[in-house]
Each structure stands twice: as C-alpha cells, then as structure tokens.
Amino acid sequence: MSTALGRPDARAAVTFLGTDRIEVLRFQEGDIVRYATLGMSAHPMTDPTAMLADPVKGPRAELVLSVRAGLAETDKVLRPLAVLGASPQVEGVVVAPGASLDVGEPLWPGAPFSSVLVAEPGGLVEDLELGEPMDPVRFLPLLPMTPNEAAWKRVHGAQALQERWLTSGTDLRDPARRSVPLD
C-alpha cells in the first residue's frame, strides 16, 4: 500500500468489542485525500452460511476511499470507515466488488452519503500476494452513494449505476456532489 500511496500523514485506530483493531490511514497527494483501512485483512472473510470458518483460506481485503481535499470535513470519515472495515468480523459478511455497504449515518458531517459501492480492485493499489495457501489482499475502492443512488443500485445493479456515473461525467471524488440523474 505504501508503494502506491506513499507515507500516511495521519492514522487512527478503532477497536470494536470482540474484534481486532482496525486502523484507518490518511494519505494526501495534491488535492486528493485517500483513506485506507489496515487490519481488515488480518483474517480471511468467511461466507456467513459456511459451517466452519477456515482460519487461513478465503478472501482478504482492505478498503480505500478517495475524495477531493478541502471541500468537506472528510477526516471525520475515519470511524465510519473503520466500522466498514470491521463488518466482516462483526457481521460475518464477505465484502466484494458490487456490494453496497451502509453506515446508517453521513460518512462525514454534512455528507450526502451514508453508503458506498465497493468497486473493482487493481487500479490504484495492486493486490498484495501472501504466502500459500492464503489468498492475496485486495484493495477495494469505495465509491460514495447518495440514498437515491443506493436505492437505484438495489433495483438496477452496480454496473448500471457505474454506467450512469460515467455517462453523466460524475466526479465520484467530490465530497459534496449531488446524486446522478436517475430517471
């Protein structure tokens, strides 16, 4: 992660009852601030329907959120991002591309977003290979969604929402952006 993002300029740690510590690192490059979880990949994610959790094999991931600096109090996203990073341990979910994650409150003060779309990895931070038999750590980008976008995505799917954003030229890094037209 440090190869792709550089050195973090801030970090915060959150521990939830019954879970391992999740850190959120902050990286700034020009007018872009990136927040990345650290600790989510300590254990493989387990399918909640599985009879037994494999302590070694299974998908591993960390989350990366990128926003434009100085347009909102985005540093307040640290706790909500840690909550999302702890969700595999707390809720027994497997976080994968196309999934929606919701924190139930604005991601930062005044944010028009309370949920994110998990995007495909590999663009910004390459997978981190671990020794066999462990799966690599995937760095999953998070794309903030307005409540209307999240509802539209539930009906039409992640790919359709991403196409809407692309067609409309939506700046997904704008921390104060409005919903894409969905009619």
Q: Are strands 32-38 and 60-68 parallel, antiparallel or unpaired?
A: antiparallel
pLDDT, residue 1, reads 58
Q: How far apart are CA 143 and CA 78, in angstroms?
A: 15
Is 115 part of a structural domain of the chain? Answer: yes
Q: Give me the average pLDDT of each 10-residue run along the chain (183 residues).
A: 73 78 92 94 82 80 95 89 90 91 94 96 85 91 96 96 96 95 85
Q: How far apart are CA 137 and CA 143, in angstroms?
A: 19
Residue with tokens 């794309």: 143
The torsion angle over the Cα atoms of residues 77, 165, 123 and 73, rounded to 10 degrees, is: -20
pLDDT, residue 153, reads 97
Is 180 part of a structural domain of the chain? Answer: no
Instruction: Check: CB of residue 80 under 8 Å from CB of residue 103.
Output: yes
Is 177 part of a structural domain of the chain? Answer: no
Is 109 part of a structural domain of the chain? Answer: yes
Q: How far apart are CA 98 and CA 122, in angstroms?
A: 14
pLDDT, residue 60, reads 93
Q: How far apart are CA 123 and CA 88, in angstroms?
A: 23
Is 142 part of a structural domain of the chain? Answer: yes
Kindly write down the DSSP assignment for every residue of 42-70, as one continuous string: GS----TT-SS--SSSS-EEEEEEEEETT
Is 179 part of a structural domain of the chain? Answer: no
Domain residue limits at 22: 2-168
pLDDT, residue 70, reads 85
Residue type, 104: G
pLDDT, residue 53, reads 72
Domain count for the chain: 1
Tally DSSP H helices, then E strands, for the chain. Answer: 4, 7
N- to C-terminal Cα distance for the chain?
Answer: 39
Is 23 part of a structural domain of the chain? Answer: yes
Is 61 part of a structural domain of the chain? Answer: yes
Structural Rg of the chain based on CA atoms:
16
